Homo-oligomer: A and B are copies of this chain.
Amino acid sequence: MDATKFMLDEKDMPRQWYNLAADLPTPPLPPLGPDGNPVSPDMLTPIFPMGLIEQEVSQERWIDIPEKILEILSLWRPAPLYRARRLEKLLKTPARIYYKHEGNSPPGSHKPNTAVAQAYYNKEAGIERITTETGAGQWGSALSFACSLLDLECKVFMVRISFDQKPFRRLMMQAWGGVCVPSPSEETQAGRAILAENPDTPGSLGIAISEAIEAAVTDKTGKTRYSLGSVLNHVMLHQTIIGLEAKKQLELAGEKKVDVVIGCAGGGSNFAGLAFPFVADKINGAEIDILPVEPTSCPTLTRAPFHYDFGDTAETTPLLPMYTLGHKFVPPPIHAGGLRYHGISPLVSHAVKHGLLTPKAYDQLDCYEAAVLWSRTEGFIPAPETSHAIAAAIEEANKAKEEGKEKVIVFNWSGHGLMDLTGYDAYFSGKLINYPLPEEEIEKSTAVLKNLPKAD
């Protein structure tokens, strides 16, 4: 029997995270405050615990992973690396396709890799409660899970329309003891103001972020902090355990060289998690194509400018240097909710700017076609986000076939699709559509950047 699954022992789990900031050709640009001046670590203390702030600004290459975090991650880590032999055979490709399976975590995706770390550093700092926002509920459920195991309260502001239409991830949060309220809520000034104006608003991620931050910074006990599930440097850092494991496993599989590394990219964290340790190799001279894959309907890396912009629609966050469609951009209602973000991680953006990454974009229908082919060939039903990475892996494998090259392709299988089957329903019933984005719309949505500082 040819090996298709490459496992590591618990004792071979990476003991350190990898920090790409240490190796980038130029130092990352700092976040800016409303006055246009760099945000200092101190200014972030009402929002984040110092352990995370230090990681956010760190230039250290390697950062130790505390034992307690490893202990919880070991519930599902090391995650398996698979070789997709059945798919290779079907495609008749000379490429060897590997995928890192992040779907065995209790919430079913890569998200808890950082949720557990964030909960840990909050707990260490004496924090008792974490607030956050969530759209479809992926992040809210991952943080609720992490908080339950670290004995912290978790308060999730969930965009109202998702709260009403997608009860299942809300129920996951509840199963883990998280308190999930529809946003806008009566619990914050921001929420009350919006409800007063429009009691029937469906809510938005921007509003939910405002509420979560307000709930953290206004808590008089000082024991509440806020948490974000992607975009920020410390989130990318925590996810690098994916790529570090994958490298060890590729060695076990007998691979000496990797040719193509792929991950879907919304905020950027699952992509960065797999890719950053390979970006380090590329900086050191290795020839690797590293592909962040986004939806054509939200083409941050493929069609938007690199610029300072707010992280949220409501303009409450510091300004971040990133590829951005403008913070007022409302992505079309594709099923890959986790890829519907106007910007992307500053570290990922920085690497793109330096030509270290080759962004790609795929249409929704092509992604679902890839997801169904995958399910029937490799067995695991992927999340709609993950299907973007699959579509790219298939294209790369076909390219290798055309070129007659024995390429090694590795991609991040970021999560299962069992909570997102309505997208498959739409696909099977012929109701799924693409959302091509005209150039005028991008010009319109990026117009908000004119009044903000340039990032170059």
Chain A interface (Cβ within 8 Å of chain B)? 1, 3-5, 7, 9-10, 67, 70-72, 74-75, 82, 86, 104, 106, 108, 145, 148-149, 167-168, 171-172, 174-177, 371-372, 375-377, 379-381, 417-419, 421-422, 424-425, 428
Docked-complex contact B425 and A70, CB < 8 angstroms:
no
Report the minimum CB–CB distance from A351 to chain B (whole Å). 33
Q: A106-B381, A167-B421, A171-B424 are in contact. List 11 more A-B contacts (CB 8 A).
A: A1-B70, A3-B10, A5-B75, A7-B7, A7-B10, A75-B82, A86-B149, A148-B376, A167-B425, A174-B428, A175-B372
Docked-complex contact B71 and A1, CB < 8 angstroms:
yes
Closest to A77 in B: B5
Closest 3 CB pairs of A and B: A171-B421, A106-B379, A148-B376
Instruction: Compute how far the CA of A176 lies from the CA of B148 in the bound complex, rounded to whole angstroms.
Output: 34
Closest to A375 in B: B175
Closest to A382 in B: B175
Residues of B contacting A86 with CB < 8 Å? 149
Docked-complex contact A176 and B376, CB < 8 angstroms:
yes
Instruction: Compute how far the CA of A149 lies from the CA of B10 in the bound complex, rounded to whole angstroms.
Output: 30
Residues of B contacting A104 with CB < 8 Å? 104
Instruction: Give me 24 A-to-B residue pairs in the complex whose CB atoms sit less than 8 angstroms apart, sorted by A's number.
Output: A1-B10, A1-B67, A1-B71, A3-B10, A5-B10, A5-B74, A7-B10, A106-B381, A148-B379, A149-B377, A167-B421, A168-B418, A168-B421, A171-B422, A171-B424, A171-B428, A172-B421, A174-B424, A174-B428, A175-B372, A175-B376, A175-B424, A176-B375, A177-B376
Instruction: Compute how far the CA of A4 lies from the CA of B67 in the bound complex, rounded to whole angstroms.
Output: 14
Closest to A417 in B: B175
A375 with B148, Cβ < 8 A, contacts A421-B171, A425-B171 known: yes
Residues of B contacting A381 with CB < 8 Å? 106, 172, 175-176
Residues of B contacting A71 with CB < 8 Å? 1, 4
Closest to A9 in B: B7
Instruction: Compute how far the CA of A372 lies from the CA of B176 in the bound complex, rounded to whole angstroms.
Output: 7
Residues of B contacting A175 with CB < 8 Å? 371-372, 375-376, 381, 417, 421, 424
Residues of B contacting A177 with CB < 8 Å? 376
Docked-complex contact B1 and A172, CB < 8 angstroms:
no
A74 with B376, Cβ < 8 A, contacts A149-B86, A167-B425, A175-B424 known: no
